[in-house]
Amino acid sequence: MERPNYSLDGRVALITGASSGIGAHLARLFAAAGAKVVLGARRVDRIAALADSIGANALPVAMDVTDEASIIAAFDAAEARFGPPDTVLANAGIAVAGRTVDLSADQVRSVIDTNFTAVYLTAREAARRMIAAGSKQSGRGRIVLTGSITAEMTGQGDAAYAASKAAVVHLGRQLAREWARLGINVNTVQPGYILTEIDEHWFATEGGKAQVQTWPRRRLTPIEALNDPMLFFASDASAYVTGAHVTVDDGQSL
């Protein structure tokens, strides 16, 4: 991978949901930008293989973001290996498709637990570590939340998911306000529809293909479109940006 536009030299980045899709892509990107990367996910075999491909500056850590003890243990492992993370990407998420009248309470809880509560707990632990490491003095704390364009849309079959992502973007603003004087910036990136494991089956169907044709540019967003916004928010370049959210969807939500 070519050297990215924004430098993350000297940073320690912890990424949740790093076993596939956006998380795995950003792990490679952040490492290429100079960061030491901690790869958190439940699928340990995948993050181990990813860490091997990145090299000595990558650490795979078993992490269940719905378990507070697992989150704390992952931060402990990161700190023991590389020092306290100053850059945290709360990226893990799931989608459970289905009309509201058909989803079970357990399915709804699983979406909220992973997409919102886990983001809250990950960001909270990140802030605790950053504050203890002196973020108020350095101003280097960076927390980036992965949202979704569905936070600002209505549709069919994704009410729980969309609501969880709407909660994430507002959480980002709340945390940004709370930690503004502690040297921690919190921002959210809202990707459009990207071909990942979560939705590749849908976009191979006739219904998925028809959905693509309803968008202004009639195409999926390439995962590389996230590179510059994510790197900007993770780097020193975003020193004066906190509480923001940026939509990267190639006009899909227009």
The arithmetic mean of pLDDT across residues 133-157, rounded, is 95
Long-range contacts of 38-44 (CB under 8 A, 24+ apart): 38/12, 38/13, 38/14, 38/74, 38/77, 38/78, 38/81, 38/82, 38/85, 39/15, 40/14, 40/15, 40/16, 40/65, 40/74, 40/92, 41/16, 41/17, 41/92, 43/19
Is residue 161 annotated as a catalytic residue, yes or no? yes
**pTM flag (> 0.75):** yes
Residue 254 DSSP class: -
Q: What is the model's pLDDT at position 102?
A: 94
Q: State how far the Cα of 52 lies from the Cα of 47, in Å rounded to an integer.
A: 8
pLDDT in tens, 147-202: 999 999 998 788 999 999 999 999 999 999 999 999 999 999 999 999 887 788 88
Catalytic residue among 6, 120, 161, 193: 161
Please give the average per-residue pLDDT across 121-141, as a whole number: 98
Domain boundaries 12-242, CATH class: alpha beta
Q: Which residue has the higher pLDDT, 111 or 197?
A: 111
Distances from the Cα of 171 to the Cα of 14, 118, 189, angstroms = 19, 12, 13
Q: Is 226 helix (H, G, I), strand (E, B) or coil?
A: helix
Distance CA 117, CA 136 (A): 26
CA 221 to chain centroid, in Å, comes to 16
Hey, where are the domains in the chain?
12-242
Residue 72 has pLDDT above 80, yes or no: yes
